[in-house]
Amino acid sequence: MRFVADPSSRIVVDVEAKLPGRGLWIRAEKDYVLRAVQKRLFSRAAKAALEADENLAVMAETQLAARMLGRLGLALRAGELLLGFDTVEKALRSGKPPAVIVEAAEAAPDGRRKLQGAALANGVAPFVVGCFSGADLGLALGRANVVHAALRPGRIAERLIFDAGRIAGFRPLRPWIWAGFSSEAAHGISARGPSALE
C-alpha cells in the first residue's frame, strides 16, 4: 500500500496510488502500518521529518473498504452484480459462474453451506469476500437486507479481488473452505497479495 507526505509533512494513505510525491510503500497489513508509525519508519525512509497519525492503520482500512464498496456500487450500475440468495445459487450452478461472491459477515451458516455446495457441485471456486456487514453492503448498493451477491468475471471483479487481497491484512475475508479445497490457493493470496488473474 502506498503512502505519501502531504504539503504539511503528514503521512496520508494513497489507496489509488495516484497522489503526487514520493511514494512510501508498506505491506498492506495492520501490524506493518502500526509498526511503521510507532518506529517512525516513514521519516527514516524519506530521510525527512514526517508526522504519521497513530490511527493510520484504521484510515487505511477505512479507505480500502470504501473503495471496495464503491466498486460494488459501480458493478451494480454496470449490470455485473447479481443480488439475492436464489440468484447467486443459480449463477453458481450455471455454465458461466461468478468470479466473486460477496456475502454479509453475518450471513447464516446454512446459506453459506448451500452456496458452497452449489459451487462444489459445479467444480468452481469463486473468490469470496465476507468482510462487510449487511448494513455496509445495503448502504453501498442502495438496497435493504443485502446478504448475498455475486460479481460476474471482468475488470471490476479483478480490481475488487486485488483490493480484497489488501484488505485481508486488516480484517478477515471469511473465505469458503471444504475438504480438498485450499482457500488460499483459490483466492490467489500470498504474502505478496493476489496472484495474476486468468
Q: What is the pLDDT of residues 97-109, one digit of tens each?
A: 999 999 999 999 9
Q: Which three cell numbers stand for residue 79?
A: 449490470
Distance (Å) of CA 10 to CA 4, 15, 48, 51, 165: 8, 16, 11, 5, 26
Say what the pLDDT of residue 181 is.
57
Q: Is the pLDDT of residue 116 over 90?
A: yes
Given this model, what pLDDT does residue 178 score? 64
pLDDT at 193 over 50: no
pLDDT at 169 over 60: yes
Q: What is the mean pLDDT of residues 4-33?
A: 93
Q: How far apart are CA 196 and CA 198, in angstroms?
A: 7
d(CA 10, CA 90): 49
pLDDT at residue 28, rounded to an integer: 95
Higher per-residue confidence, 84 vs 176: 84
Tell me the mean pLDDT in the region 17-45.
Answer: 94
pTM, to two decimals:
0.86
Please report, rounded to a whole number, the percentage of residues in the chain having pLDDT higher than 90. Answer: 85
Note the pLDDT of residue 182: 53
Higher pLDDT, 190 or 71: 71
Asked if residues 148 and 85 have their Cβ atoms less than 8 Å apart, the reply is yes
- Specify the higher pLDDT residue, 151 or 22: 151
Q: Are 42 and 3 in contact (CB under 8 A)?
A: yes
Reported as a single tens digit per residue, the pLDDT across 15-29 is 999 999 889 999 999
Residue 177 has a pLDDT of 75
Q: What is the set of domains in the chain, with CATH numbers?
A: 2-54 (no CATH), 64-194 (3.30.1330.30)
Residue 71, pLDDT > 90, answer yes
Q: Where are the alpha helices (DSSP H) in 104-169?
A: 109-122, 134-141, 155-167
| pLDDT value at 179 more than 80 | no
177 vs 43 pLDDT, higher one: 43
Residue 195: what pLDDT? 32
